[in-house]
Amino acid sequence: MEKTLLLENFYSIKEVLVESSSKMNVKVELNVNHPVYKGHFPQVPVAPGVCLIQMIKEVIMQQNKQKLLLTEGDNIKFMAIINPNQNPFFYIDYDFKFPDSGLLEVSAVIRWEAVTYLKFKGKFKVTE
């Protein structure tokens, strides 16, 4: 599998629970010392939304050992800010659908305890 964009140092996967072929739960830890936080923002670091979307994709790629291309972001809602100094851990809850269209439909929620940070619904094309 090709090295992913962020996996090596933006975050690490701590635990994976595959509930079924259509459900997965992943515990992630952000690297609070990652250089992205120096520009986004030094006094109060915020995990960039684009990095969170990329992370959703990369975790699926790593688990399925397939390359994916995001083709549609049907519904993406940023609900709360993730400050890695305050909340370095969170869960990504996945729901998958494999329709006849050939695209992988994904619903994902990034959350920790009672806080939901991000809701994502989109489609990915397998490129390999």
At 44, which CATH number? 3.10.129.10
Question: Which residues are CB-neighbours of 41 under 8 A, at least 6 positions away?
Answer: none
What pLDDT is attached to residue 109? Answer: 98
Q: How many CB atoms lie within 10 A of CB 90?
A: 24
pLDDT tens column, 81-122 = 999 999 999 999 999 998 888 899 999 999 999 999 999 999
Number of domains comprising the chain:
1
In a domain, 109, yes or no: yes
Q: Which range marks the domain in which residue 101 is found?
A: 11-126
Question: Which residues are CB-neighbours of 23 under 8 A, at least 6 positions away?
Answer: 93, 94, 95, 96
